[in-house]
Structure 1
Amino acid sequence: MSKQPPISVVNKPRKTTSRKSSSPRKSRKKDASPHKKKVVKKWEIPTGLYYILMGAITVVFLSAFFYFFIRPYSYRWKPCYGLKAYGVCMPAGFHIHGIDVSHYQGNIDWQRLTQTRQSQFPIHFIFMKASEGGDYGDRVFQANFDSAKAYGFIRGAYHFYNPKTDPVRQADFFINSVKLDTGDLPPVLDIEKRGDDVRTLRRDLKIWLDKIERHYKVKPILYTSYKFKTRYLNDSIFDSYPYWIAHYYVDSVEYKGNWKFWQHTDVGTLPGIREKVDLNIFNGSLEELKCMTIR
Protein backbone atom coordinates (compact mmCIF):
# COMPACT_ATOMS: atom_id res chain seq x y z
CA MET A 1 0.00 0.00 0.00
CA SER A 2 1.47 3.33 -0.95
CA LYS A 3 1.92 5.92 1.64
CA GLN A 4 0.21 9.13 1.06
CA PRO A 5 2.02 12.26 1.96
CA PRO A 6 0.80 13.76 5.12
CA ILE A 7 -1.65 16.61 4.63
CA SER A 8 -0.15 19.84 5.70
CA VAL A 9 -2.47 22.58 6.51
CA VAL A 10 -1.11 25.85 5.32
CA ASN A 11 -2.67 28.91 6.72
CA LYS A 12 -3.00 31.36 3.84
CA PRO A 13 -2.63 34.86 4.85
CA ARG A 14 -5.79 36.89 4.52
CA LYS A 15 -5.86 39.52 1.90
CA THR A 16 -6.58 42.59 3.66
CA THR A 17 -7.77 45.49 1.53
CA SER A 18 -6.32 48.45 3.09
CA ARG A 19 -8.32 51.60 2.47
CA LYS A 20 -6.24 54.51 1.68
CA SER A 21 -6.78 56.99 4.20
CA SER A 22 -8.11 60.00 2.46
CA SER A 23 -5.86 62.85 2.97
CA PRO A 24 -7.64 65.67 4.60
CA ARG A 25 -8.67 68.40 2.18
CA LYS A 26 -6.49 71.28 2.23
CA SER A 27 -8.49 74.19 3.32
CA ARG A 28 -8.23 77.05 0.91
CA LYS A 29 -6.84 79.92 2.58
CA LYS A 30 -8.91 82.94 2.05
CA ASP A 31 -6.98 85.77 0.74
CA ALA A 32 -6.66 88.18 3.44
CA SER A 33 -6.89 90.97 0.88
CA PRO A 34 -9.65 90.10 -1.70
CA HIS A 35 -9.65 91.80 -5.14
CA LYS A 36 -11.83 94.85 -5.07
CA LYS A 37 -14.12 95.46 -8.07
CA LYS A 38 -13.29 98.60 -9.95
CA VAL A 39 -16.21 100.94 -9.94
CA VAL A 40 -16.44 102.78 -13.33
CA LYS A 41 -18.08 106.06 -12.94
CA LYS A 42 -20.37 106.94 -15.86
CA TRP A 43 -19.86 110.39 -17.24
CA GLU A 44 -23.11 112.26 -17.06
CA ILE A 45 -23.84 115.42 -19.00
CA PRO A 46 -24.79 118.20 -16.70
CA THR A 47 -28.47 119.04 -17.03
CA GLY A 48 -27.80 122.58 -18.21
CA LEU A 49 -25.33 121.46 -20.88
CA TYR A 50 -27.75 118.73 -22.05
CA TYR A 51 -30.51 121.22 -22.76
CA ILE A 52 -28.07 123.55 -24.52
CA LEU A 53 -26.89 120.72 -26.83
CA MET A 54 -30.43 119.59 -27.57
CA GLY A 55 -31.43 123.15 -28.36
CA ALA A 56 -28.45 123.58 -30.69
CA ILE A 57 -29.24 120.31 -32.54
CA THR A 58 -32.87 121.36 -32.93
CA VAL A 59 -31.86 124.75 -34.32
CA VAL A 60 -29.48 123.13 -36.85
CA PHE A 61 -32.12 120.60 -37.93
CA LEU A 62 -34.85 123.22 -38.37
CA SER A 63 -32.47 125.54 -40.23
CA ALA A 64 -31.47 122.77 -42.65
CA PHE A 65 -35.11 121.76 -43.12
CA PHE A 66 -36.10 125.34 -43.91
CA TYR A 67 -33.16 125.90 -46.28
CA PHE A 68 -33.70 122.75 -48.36
CA PHE A 69 -37.47 122.20 -48.18
CA ILE A 70 -39.22 125.46 -47.27
CA ARG A 71 -37.09 128.30 -48.66
CA PRO A 72 -37.25 127.20 -52.36
CA TYR A 73 -41.05 127.30 -52.21
CA SER A 74 -41.55 130.18 -49.79
CA TYR A 75 -42.38 132.43 -52.75
CA ARG A 76 -45.76 130.69 -52.91
CA TRP A 77 -46.73 132.17 -49.56
CA LYS A 78 -45.21 135.60 -50.04
CA PRO A 79 -47.71 138.44 -50.37
CA CYS A 80 -48.25 139.50 -53.98
CA TYR A 81 -47.48 143.19 -54.33
CA GLY A 82 -48.00 143.09 -58.09
CA LEU A 83 -50.80 141.65 -60.18
CA LYS A 84 -52.15 138.16 -59.66
CA ALA A 85 -53.48 135.91 -62.42
CA TYR A 86 -53.88 132.20 -63.10
CA GLY A 87 -53.51 131.55 -59.36
CA VAL A 88 -50.02 133.09 -59.03
CA CYS A 89 -48.30 136.44 -58.75
CA MET A 90 -47.27 137.41 -62.26
CA PRO A 91 -43.77 138.77 -62.99
CA ALA A 92 -43.74 142.53 -63.45
CA GLY A 93 -42.57 144.20 -66.64
CA PHE A 94 -43.40 141.37 -69.09
CA HIS A 95 -46.31 141.33 -71.52
CA ILE A 96 -46.03 138.17 -73.65
CA HIS A 97 -47.21 135.08 -71.76
CA GLY A 98 -47.37 131.41 -72.62
CA ILE A 99 -47.66 127.90 -71.24
CA ASP A 100 -46.19 124.46 -71.89
CA VAL A 101 -48.20 121.23 -71.76
CA SER A 102 -47.89 117.47 -72.17
CA HIS A 103 -50.09 114.43 -71.54
CA TYR A 104 -49.94 115.28 -67.82
CA GLN A 105 -52.48 118.06 -68.44
CA GLY A 106 -54.95 115.60 -69.95
CA ASN A 107 -57.46 116.65 -72.58
CA ILE A 108 -57.51 120.41 -73.08
CA ASP A 109 -60.66 122.38 -73.79
CA TRP A 110 -59.14 124.69 -76.38
CA GLN A 111 -62.24 126.80 -76.79
CA ARG A 112 -62.21 127.67 -73.08
CA LEU A 113 -58.46 128.28 -73.22
CA THR A 114 -59.00 131.06 -75.77
CA GLN A 115 -60.83 132.99 -73.02
CA THR A 116 -57.41 134.04 -71.71
CA ARG A 117 -57.15 136.44 -74.65
CA GLN A 118 -59.69 138.68 -72.96
CA SER A 119 -57.72 138.72 -69.70
CA GLN A 120 -55.02 141.13 -68.62
CA PHE A 121 -52.43 138.42 -69.33
CA PRO A 122 -53.42 136.79 -72.64
CA ILE A 123 -51.71 133.53 -73.60
CA HIS A 124 -49.83 133.97 -76.90
CA PHE A 125 -47.61 130.88 -77.21
CA ILE A 126 -47.74 127.20 -76.20
CA PHE A 127 -44.89 124.68 -76.11
CA MET A 128 -45.88 120.99 -76.28
CA LYS A 129 -43.90 117.89 -75.39
CA ALA A 130 -43.35 115.82 -78.52
CA SER A 131 -40.84 113.13 -77.61
CA GLU A 132 -38.51 111.70 -75.00
CA GLY A 133 -35.38 109.63 -75.46
CA GLY A 134 -35.20 107.52 -78.60
CA ASP A 135 -38.62 105.91 -78.72
CA TYR A 136 -41.18 107.62 -76.50
CA GLY A 137 -43.70 109.92 -78.11
CA ASP A 138 -46.16 111.96 -76.06
CA ARG A 139 -49.57 110.43 -76.78
CA VAL A 140 -51.45 113.75 -77.01
CA PHE A 141 -48.78 115.75 -78.83
CA GLN A 142 -50.21 115.67 -82.33
CA ALA A 143 -53.73 116.50 -81.13
CA ASN A 144 -52.43 119.39 -79.03
CA PHE A 145 -50.12 120.59 -81.79
CA ASP A 146 -52.93 120.67 -84.35
CA SER A 147 -55.38 122.30 -81.94
CA ALA A 148 -52.93 125.03 -80.95
CA LYS A 149 -52.62 126.12 -84.55
CA ALA A 150 -56.34 125.80 -85.20
CA TYR A 151 -57.10 128.12 -82.28
CA GLY A 152 -54.51 130.71 -83.26
CA PHE A 153 -51.74 130.14 -80.71
CA ILE A 154 -48.05 130.37 -81.61
CA ARG A 155 -46.90 126.82 -81.07
CA GLY A 156 -43.65 125.00 -80.39
CA ALA A 157 -42.47 121.44 -79.71
CA TYR A 158 -39.85 120.15 -77.30
CA HIS A 159 -37.85 116.97 -76.82
CA PHE A 160 -36.96 115.64 -73.36
CA TYR A 161 -33.35 114.52 -73.60
CA ASN A 162 -32.13 111.21 -72.14
CA PRO A 163 -28.32 111.22 -71.56
CA LYS A 164 -28.24 107.40 -71.72
CA THR A 165 -29.63 107.24 -75.27
CA ASP A 166 -27.70 107.85 -78.47
CA PRO A 167 -28.13 111.52 -79.51
CA VAL A 168 -28.48 110.74 -83.23
CA ARG A 169 -31.27 108.28 -82.47
CA GLN A 170 -33.01 110.91 -80.33
CA ALA A 171 -32.67 113.58 -83.01
CA ASP A 172 -34.04 111.24 -85.70
CA PHE A 173 -36.97 110.32 -83.48
CA PHE A 174 -37.85 113.98 -82.91
CA ILE A 175 -37.56 114.77 -86.63
CA ASN A 176 -39.90 111.88 -87.47
CA SER A 177 -42.36 113.01 -84.78
CA VAL A 178 -42.52 116.76 -85.44
CA LYS A 179 -43.34 118.54 -88.69
CA LEU A 180 -42.79 122.25 -88.12
CA ASP A 181 -44.48 124.82 -90.34
CA THR A 182 -44.04 128.49 -91.03
CA GLY A 183 -44.95 130.48 -87.92
CA ASP A 184 -43.91 127.73 -85.48
CA LEU A 185 -41.27 128.35 -82.82
CA PRO A 186 -37.88 126.63 -83.18
CA PRO A 187 -37.55 123.09 -81.77
CA VAL A 188 -36.64 122.91 -78.09
CA LEU A 189 -34.19 120.60 -76.34
CA ASP A 190 -35.26 120.01 -72.73
CA ILE A 191 -32.16 119.02 -70.77
CA GLU A 192 -32.54 118.28 -67.06
CA LYS A 193 -30.44 115.15 -66.42
CA ARG A 194 -26.64 115.26 -66.26
CA GLY A 195 -25.79 111.62 -66.91
CA ASP A 196 -22.53 109.98 -65.79
CA ASP A 197 -20.03 112.28 -67.47
CA VAL A 198 -20.36 116.00 -68.17
CA ARG A 199 -17.96 116.00 -71.12
CA THR A 200 -19.88 113.20 -72.79
CA LEU A 201 -23.12 115.06 -72.13
CA ARG A 202 -21.84 118.23 -73.79
CA ARG A 203 -20.54 116.34 -76.82
CA ASP A 204 -23.82 114.45 -77.29
CA LEU A 205 -25.95 117.55 -76.82
CA LYS A 206 -23.99 119.30 -79.56
CA ILE A 207 -24.58 116.31 -81.86
CA TRP A 208 -28.35 116.57 -81.25
CA LEU A 209 -28.42 120.34 -81.69
CA ASP A 210 -26.39 120.28 -84.90
CA LYS A 211 -28.52 117.58 -86.52
CA ILE A 212 -31.75 119.37 -85.60
CA GLU A 213 -30.43 122.71 -86.89
CA ARG A 214 -29.42 121.16 -90.21
CA HIS A 215 -32.87 119.63 -90.64
CA TYR A 216 -35.12 122.54 -89.61
CA LYS A 217 -32.77 125.32 -90.79
CA VAL A 218 -33.15 127.19 -87.50
CA LYS A 219 -31.17 127.32 -84.26
CA PRO A 220 -32.85 125.21 -81.55
CA ILE A 221 -33.86 126.57 -78.14
CA LEU A 222 -32.24 125.15 -75.02
CA TYR A 223 -34.52 124.61 -72.01
CA THR A 224 -32.94 124.03 -68.61
CA SER A 225 -32.83 125.40 -65.07
CA TYR A 226 -30.51 128.29 -64.32
CA LYS A 227 -28.49 126.06 -61.96
CA PHE A 228 -28.06 123.35 -64.60
CA LYS A 229 -26.98 125.95 -67.13
CA THR A 230 -24.33 127.50 -64.88
CA ARG A 231 -23.01 124.15 -63.63
CA TYR A 232 -22.90 122.01 -66.76
CA LEU A 233 -23.50 124.17 -69.84
CA ASN A 234 -21.42 127.20 -68.93
CA ASP A 235 -19.56 127.13 -72.21
CA SER A 236 -19.35 129.55 -75.13
CA ILE A 237 -20.48 126.74 -77.45
CA PHE A 238 -23.88 126.66 -75.77
CA ASP A 239 -24.15 130.39 -75.10
CA SER A 240 -25.00 130.97 -78.75
CA TYR A 241 -28.38 129.23 -78.39
CA PRO A 242 -31.55 131.01 -77.29
CA TYR A 243 -32.34 129.99 -73.71
CA TRP A 244 -35.55 129.05 -71.98
CA ILE A 245 -34.72 129.21 -68.26
CA ALA A 246 -36.75 127.45 -65.57
CA HIS A 247 -36.65 129.25 -62.22
CA TYR A 248 -39.67 129.03 -59.93
CA TYR A 249 -41.05 131.16 -57.09
CA VAL A 250 -38.69 134.11 -57.51
CA ASP A 251 -39.27 137.75 -58.42
CA SER A 252 -36.70 137.68 -61.22
CA VAL A 253 -34.44 135.23 -63.05
CA GLU A 254 -31.09 134.80 -61.30
CA TYR A 255 -29.41 133.68 -64.53
CA LYS A 256 -27.27 136.60 -65.72
CA GLY A 257 -26.84 135.54 -69.33
CA ASN A 258 -29.13 136.19 -72.27
CA TRP A 259 -32.45 134.38 -72.22
CA LYS A 260 -35.60 134.41 -74.32
CA PHE A 261 -38.13 132.54 -72.18
CA TRP A 262 -38.63 132.22 -68.44
CA GLN A 263 -40.69 129.42 -66.89
CA HIS A 264 -41.59 131.13 -63.62
CA THR A 265 -44.03 128.68 -62.00
CA ASP A 266 -45.43 125.16 -62.31
CA VAL A 267 -48.71 125.76 -60.46
CA GLY A 268 -50.71 127.91 -62.85
CA THR A 269 -54.45 127.36 -63.23
CA LEU A 270 -56.05 128.11 -66.59
CA PRO A 271 -59.55 127.74 -68.01
CA GLY A 272 -59.91 124.56 -70.05
CA ILE A 273 -57.06 122.71 -68.30
CA ARG A 274 -57.82 120.62 -65.21
CA GLU A 275 -54.25 120.09 -64.00
CA LYS A 276 -51.66 122.64 -62.90
CA VAL A 277 -49.73 124.25 -65.75
CA ASP A 278 -46.24 125.72 -66.23
CA LEU A 279 -46.44 129.45 -66.93
CA ASN A 280 -43.87 131.24 -69.09
CA ILE A 281 -43.05 134.73 -70.27
CA PHE A 282 -41.18 135.88 -73.36
CA ASN A 283 -38.40 138.40 -72.89
CA GLY A 284 -39.50 140.80 -75.59
CA SER A 285 -42.44 142.05 -77.61
CA LEU A 286 -44.96 140.06 -79.63
CA GLU A 287 -43.25 141.21 -82.82
CA GLU A 288 -39.91 139.92 -81.54
CA LEU A 289 -41.52 136.59 -80.67
CA LYS A 290 -42.89 136.26 -84.17
CA CYS A 291 -39.43 137.05 -85.55
CA MET A 292 -38.15 133.95 -83.78
CA THR A 293 -40.55 131.67 -85.61
CA ILE A 294 -39.71 129.61 -88.68
CA ARG A 295 -39.98 131.58 -91.91
Structure 2
Amino acid sequence: MSKIIDISHHQGDIDWSKASKEVDLAIIRTQYGTSTIDRKYVQNIEGCKKYNVPFGVYIYVTFKNKTEAWAEAKDFYERVQAHKPLFYVVDVEESFGSSVQNIVQGTQAFVDYLKGKGVKVGLYTGHHFYKPYKMDTVKNYDFLWIPRYSGTSAQGKKPDFACDLWQYTDSGTVVGIKGNVDLNVLNGSKTLTWFTNKNEEDNKPTEKDDDKMQFTNETTKAAVRDHIKQTVDKKLIDKLWLDKFDQGTITNGDYEGLKLIIAQRTS
Protein backbone atom coordinates (compact mmCIF):
# COMPACT_ATOMS: atom_id res chain seq x y z
CA MET A 1 0.00 0.00 0.00
CA SER A 2 1.36 3.43 -0.94
CA LYS A 3 1.47 5.95 1.89
CA ILE A 4 2.06 9.66 2.43
CA ILE A 5 3.70 10.19 5.81
CA ASP A 6 4.84 13.15 7.88
CA ILE A 7 7.64 12.54 10.35
CA SER A 8 9.89 14.08 12.98
CA HIS A 9 12.46 12.88 15.49
CA HIS A 10 9.57 11.37 17.45
CA GLN A 11 9.67 8.46 14.98
CA GLY A 12 13.26 7.71 15.99
CA ASP A 13 15.65 6.01 13.58
CA ILE A 14 13.73 5.03 10.46
CA ASP A 15 14.87 2.08 8.37
CA TRP A 16 14.43 3.71 4.99
CA SER A 17 15.43 0.55 3.11
CA LYS A 18 12.13 -0.90 4.38
CA ALA A 19 9.98 2.22 4.66
CA SER A 20 10.75 3.20 1.07
CA LYS A 21 8.80 0.16 -0.13
CA GLU A 22 5.58 1.58 1.33
CA VAL A 23 6.07 5.35 1.21
CA ASP A 24 5.23 7.44 -1.86
CA LEU A 25 5.93 10.80 -0.21
CA ALA A 26 7.52 11.90 3.08
CA ILE A 27 7.06 15.30 4.69
CA ILE A 28 9.91 15.89 7.11
CA ARG A 29 9.92 18.28 10.06
CA THR A 30 13.06 20.37 10.23
CA GLN A 31 12.37 22.47 13.30
CA TYR A 32 10.04 23.87 15.95
CA GLY A 33 10.35 27.64 15.64
CA THR A 34 13.97 28.70 15.35
CA SER A 35 15.17 27.40 18.70
CA THR A 36 14.44 23.66 18.49
CA ILE A 37 15.93 21.83 15.53
CA ASP A 38 14.58 18.39 14.71
CA ARG A 39 17.27 15.90 15.69
CA LYS A 40 16.54 13.53 12.80
CA TYR A 41 15.76 15.83 9.89
CA VAL A 42 19.12 15.49 8.14
CA GLN A 43 19.13 11.74 8.69
CA ASN A 44 15.61 11.48 7.29
CA ILE A 45 16.43 13.59 4.25
CA GLU A 46 19.50 11.47 3.55
CA GLY A 47 17.42 8.30 3.90
CA CYS A 48 14.84 9.61 1.43
CA LYS A 49 17.52 10.53 -1.07
CA LYS A 50 19.31 7.20 -0.75
CA TYR A 51 16.15 5.17 -1.31
CA ASN A 52 14.47 7.53 -3.79
CA VAL A 53 11.56 8.62 -1.61
CA PRO A 54 10.20 12.03 -2.72
CA PHE A 55 10.17 14.48 0.19
CA GLY A 56 9.05 17.90 1.29
CA VAL A 57 9.79 19.69 4.56
CA TYR A 58 7.81 21.50 7.24
CA ILE A 59 8.32 23.80 10.20
CA TYR A 60 6.08 23.98 13.27
CA VAL A 61 5.98 27.75 13.69
CA THR A 62 6.01 29.70 16.97
CA PHE A 63 5.87 33.30 15.74
CA LYS A 64 3.60 35.90 17.36
CA ASN A 65 3.80 38.65 14.73
CA LYS A 66 5.00 39.48 11.21
CA THR A 67 8.54 40.29 12.26
CA GLU A 68 9.01 36.97 14.03
CA ALA A 69 7.32 35.15 11.13
CA TRP A 70 9.72 36.66 8.61
CA ALA A 71 12.70 35.63 10.75
CA GLU A 72 11.37 32.07 11.11
CA ALA A 73 10.70 31.80 7.37
CA LYS A 74 14.23 32.94 6.57
CA ASP A 75 15.76 30.52 9.06
CA PHE A 76 13.64 27.65 7.74
CA TYR A 77 14.46 28.30 4.09
CA GLU A 78 18.17 28.84 4.63
CA ARG A 79 18.45 25.75 6.82
CA VAL A 80 17.00 23.36 4.28
CA GLN A 81 17.15 24.81 0.78
CA ALA A 82 20.49 23.13 -0.02
CA HIS A 83 18.74 19.76 0.40
CA LYS A 84 16.36 20.68 -2.45
CA PRO A 85 13.01 19.60 -0.98
CA LEU A 86 10.05 19.39 -3.34
CA PHE A 87 8.04 21.83 -1.25
CA TYR A 88 8.01 23.77 2.02
CA VAL A 89 5.14 23.69 4.54
CA VAL A 90 4.34 26.21 7.26
CA ASP A 91 2.56 24.43 10.14
CA VAL A 92 0.34 26.89 12.03
CA GLU A 93 -1.52 25.31 14.95
CA GLU A 94 -1.10 27.59 17.96
CA SER A 95 -1.45 31.31 18.67
CA PHE A 96 1.03 31.41 21.57
CA GLY A 97 -1.14 34.11 23.13
CA SER A 98 -1.09 36.35 20.07
CA SER A 99 -4.11 37.91 18.36
CA VAL A 100 -5.93 36.51 15.35
CA GLN A 101 -4.77 39.50 13.30
CA ASN A 102 -1.14 38.93 14.21
CA ILE A 103 -1.33 35.23 13.39
CA VAL A 104 -2.95 35.89 10.01
CA GLN A 105 -0.44 38.61 9.15
CA GLY A 106 2.44 36.45 10.33
CA THR A 107 1.28 33.45 8.32
CA GLN A 108 0.87 35.59 5.22
CA ALA A 109 4.35 37.06 5.69
CA PHE A 110 5.78 33.55 6.06
CA VAL A 111 4.07 32.31 2.90
CA ASP A 112 5.09 35.41 0.95
CA TYR A 113 8.73 35.04 1.98
CA LEU A 114 8.86 31.47 0.69
CA LYS A 115 6.96 32.28 -2.51
CA GLY A 116 9.49 35.01 -3.10
CA LYS A 117 12.11 32.26 -3.28
CA GLY A 118 10.26 30.59 -6.14
CA VAL A 119 9.40 27.40 -4.25
CA LYS A 120 6.21 25.38 -3.81
CA VAL A 121 4.53 26.27 -0.50
CA GLY A 122 1.96 24.44 1.60
CA LEU A 123 -0.09 25.58 4.60
CA TYR A 124 -0.86 23.08 7.36
CA THR A 125 -3.30 24.19 10.02
CA GLY A 126 -5.55 22.53 12.58
CA HIS A 127 -9.15 21.70 11.75
CA HIS A 128 -10.10 23.52 14.98
CA PHE A 129 -7.82 26.44 14.07
CA TYR A 130 -8.75 27.10 10.44
CA LYS A 131 -11.86 29.25 10.90
CA PRO A 132 -11.34 30.81 14.37
CA TYR A 133 -7.90 32.07 13.34
CA LYS A 134 -9.03 33.02 9.83
CA MET A 135 -6.57 30.82 8.01
CA ASP A 136 -9.07 30.91 5.15
CA THR A 137 -7.99 34.52 4.53
CA VAL A 138 -4.34 33.61 3.94
CA LYS A 139 -3.46 33.68 0.24
CA ASN A 140 -0.73 32.76 -2.22
CA TYR A 141 0.23 29.28 -0.97
CA ASP A 142 0.08 26.31 -3.34
CA PHE A 143 -1.72 23.69 -1.29
CA LEU A 144 -3.67 23.29 1.94
CA TRP A 145 -3.15 20.41 4.37
CA ILE A 146 -5.62 19.80 7.21
CA PRO A 147 -5.86 17.07 9.86
CA ARG A 148 -9.05 15.36 10.93
CA TYR A 149 -8.56 12.01 12.55
CA SER A 150 -10.87 9.12 11.74
CA GLY A 151 -9.31 6.04 13.28
CA THR A 152 -6.66 4.28 11.24
CA SER A 153 -8.32 4.39 7.81
CA ALA A 154 -9.24 7.17 5.42
CA GLN A 155 -12.89 6.13 5.43
CA GLY A 156 -14.03 8.43 8.23
CA LYS A 157 -15.28 11.98 8.22
CA LYS A 158 -13.20 14.25 6.00
CA PRO A 159 -12.26 17.84 6.89
CA ASP A 160 -15.11 20.33 6.69
CA PHE A 161 -12.94 22.58 4.55
CA ALA A 162 -11.68 22.00 1.03
CA CYS A 163 -8.04 20.94 1.18
CA ASP A 164 -5.44 19.15 -0.92
CA LEU A 165 -4.02 16.83 1.74
CA TRP A 166 -5.95 15.21 4.56
CA GLN A 167 -4.05 13.95 7.60
CA TYR A 168 -6.49 11.24 8.66
CA THR A 169 -4.63 9.52 11.51
CA ASP A 170 -1.75 9.81 13.94
CA SER A 171 -1.85 6.06 14.58
CA GLY A 172 -0.66 4.70 11.27
CA THR A 173 1.97 2.04 10.75
CA VAL A 174 4.78 1.77 8.22
CA VAL A 175 7.33 -1.02 7.91
CA GLY A 176 10.69 0.33 9.07
CA ILE A 177 9.17 2.84 11.50
CA LYS A 178 8.81 1.88 15.14
CA GLY A 179 5.56 3.03 16.71
CA ASN A 180 2.83 5.18 15.21
CA VAL A 181 3.16 7.63 12.35
CA ASP A 182 0.87 10.25 10.80
CA LEU A 183 -0.73 9.15 7.53
CA ASN A 184 -2.25 11.36 4.85
CA VAL A 185 -4.25 11.02 1.64
CA LEU A 186 -4.87 13.24 -1.34
CA ASN A 187 -8.15 15.08 -0.90
CA GLY A 188 -8.49 17.45 -3.83
CA SER A 189 -7.74 17.69 -7.52
CA LYS A 190 -3.95 17.66 -7.12
CA THR A 191 -2.33 14.35 -7.98
CA LEU A 192 0.62 12.69 -6.30
CA THR A 193 2.69 13.67 -9.33
CA TRP A 194 1.89 17.33 -8.64
CA PHE A 195 3.46 16.98 -5.20
CA THR A 196 6.46 14.97 -6.35
CA ASN A 197 7.40 17.04 -9.39
CA LYS A 198 10.44 19.20 -8.85
CA ASN A 199 10.04 22.98 -8.69
CA GLU A 200 12.31 25.99 -9.13
CA GLU A 201 14.72 25.51 -12.05
CA ASP A 202 13.21 22.22 -13.24
CA ASN A 203 9.76 23.77 -13.55
CA LYS A 204 10.81 26.85 -15.48
CA PRO A 205 9.65 26.76 -19.11
CA THR A 206 12.34 26.33 -21.70
CA GLU A 207 12.82 29.08 -24.25
CA LYS A 208 11.47 28.34 -27.70
CA ASP A 209 12.35 29.98 -30.96
CA ASP A 210 8.81 31.30 -31.37
CA ASP A 211 9.14 33.13 -28.03
CA LYS A 212 11.60 35.56 -29.62
CA MET A 213 10.31 39.03 -30.37
CA GLN A 214 11.92 39.95 -33.69
CA PHE A 215 10.87 43.06 -35.61
CA THR A 216 11.37 43.09 -39.39
CA ASN A 217 9.60 46.30 -40.43
CA GLU A 218 12.23 49.06 -40.42
CA THR A 219 9.81 51.78 -39.22
CA THR A 220 8.63 49.60 -36.36
CA LYS A 221 12.21 48.67 -35.47
CA ALA A 222 13.22 52.33 -35.30
CA ALA A 223 10.26 53.26 -33.10
CA VAL A 224 10.71 50.36 -30.69
CA ARG A 225 14.46 50.86 -30.48
CA ASP A 226 13.95 54.54 -29.71
CA HIS A 227 11.48 53.69 -26.92
CA ILE A 228 13.87 51.16 -25.40
CA LYS A 229 16.79 53.60 -25.63
CA GLN A 230 14.76 56.31 -23.87
CA THR A 231 13.91 53.83 -21.15
CA VAL A 232 17.57 52.86 -20.83
CA ASP A 233 18.58 56.52 -20.60
CA LYS A 234 16.09 56.99 -17.76
CA LYS A 235 17.82 54.05 -16.05
CA LEU A 236 14.59 52.08 -15.81
CA ILE A 237 16.11 49.07 -17.52
CA ASP A 238 19.61 47.83 -18.15
CA LYS A 239 21.50 48.53 -21.38
CA LEU A 240 21.48 44.78 -21.86
CA TRP A 241 17.90 45.12 -23.07
CA LEU A 242 19.00 47.45 -25.86
CA ASP A 243 21.62 44.92 -26.91
CA LYS A 244 19.03 42.15 -26.80
CA PHE A 245 16.76 44.15 -29.10
CA ASP A 246 19.54 44.71 -31.62
CA GLN A 247 20.35 41.00 -31.56
CA GLY A 248 16.70 39.95 -31.82
CA THR A 249 16.93 37.95 -28.60
CA ILE A 250 14.37 39.66 -26.35
CA THR A 251 12.07 36.89 -25.10
CA ASN A 252 8.69 36.69 -23.44
CA GLY A 253 10.45 35.41 -20.34
CA ASP A 254 12.26 38.70 -19.66
CA TYR A 255 9.71 39.58 -17.01
CA GLU A 256 11.84 41.99 -15.01
CA GLY A 257 12.32 44.25 -17.99
CA LEU A 258 8.62 44.14 -18.78
CA LYS A 259 7.77 45.07 -15.19
CA LEU A 260 10.10 48.07 -15.37
CA ILE A 261 8.59 49.35 -18.60
CA ILE A 262 5.09 48.95 -17.15
CA ALA A 263 6.20 50.86 -14.06
CA GLN A 264 7.35 53.73 -16.27
CA ARG A 265 4.05 53.87 -18.11
CA THR A 266 1.88 53.91 -15.01
CA SER A 267 3.93 56.18 -12.74
TM-score band, normalised by the shorter chain? 0.5 to 0.7
| Preserved CA contact (<8 Å) 1:97 1:282 | no
**Residues in 1 aligned to 2:184 and 2:26: alpha-carbon distance in whole angstroms:** 9
Matched residue, 2:11: 105
For the residue of structure 1 that corresponds to 2:43, the secondary structure is helix
Matched, 1:158 2:62: no
Matched, 1:228 2:134: no
**Residues in 1 aligned to 2:92 and 2:176: alpha-carbon distance in whole angstroms:** 28
For the residue of structure 2 that corresponds to 1:262, the secondary structure is strand
Matched, 1:242 2:143: yes
Amino acid in the other structure paired with 2:122: I
> Which of 247, 256, 265 lines up with 2:169 in the alignment?
265
Shift of 1:213: 1.4
| Preserved CA contact (<8 Å) 2:115 2:141 | no
Matched residue, 1:252: 157
Change (3 A) 1:288 1:241: closer
**Residues in 1 aligned to 2:140 and 2:115: alpha-carbon distance in whole angstroms:** 15
Q: Mark the runs of 5 or more structure 1 residues left unpaired by the alignment.
A: 1-84, 86-95, 117-122
> Which of 172, 178, 186 lines up with 1:274 in the alignment?
178
Matched, 1:188 2:89: yes
Shift of 1:154: 1.0
**Residues in 2 aligned to 1:225 and 1:128: alpha-carbon distance in whole angstroms:** 18
Question: Which structure has more RCO (C-alpha within 8 Å, separation ≥ 6)?
Answer: 1
Shift of 1:134: 2.1
Matched residue, 1:127: 27
Q: CA RMSD in A?
A: 2.3
| Preserved CA contact (<8 Å) 2:121 2:141 | no
**Residues in 1 aligned to 2:108 and 2:8: alpha-carbon distance in whole angstroms:** 25
Matched residue, 1:286: 192
Shift of 1:240: 5.4
Q: Mark the runs of 5 or more structure 2 residues left unpaired by the alignment.
A: 204-267
TM normalised by structure 2 equals 0.65
| Preserved CA contact (<8 Å) 1:106 1:275 | no
Shift of 1:207: 1.3
Matched residue, 1:210: 112
Amino acid in the other structure paired with 2:52: G
Shift of 1:286: 3.2
Change (3 A) 1:239 1:212: closer
For the residue of structure 2 that corresponds to 1:206, the secondary structure is helix
**Residues in 1 aligned to 2:147 and 2:111: alpha-carbon distance in whole angstroms:** 19
| Preserved CA contact (<8 Å) 2:63 2:72 | no
**Residues in 2 aligned to 1:239 and 1:173: alpha-carbon distance in whole angstroms:** 20
TM normalised by structure 1 equals 0.59
Q: Say how many residue pairs are matched.
A: 192
Amino acid in the other structure paired with 1:252: K
Shift of 1:155: 0.2
For the residue of structure 1 that corresponds to 2:114, the secondary structure is helix
Structure 1 or 2: larger helix share? 2
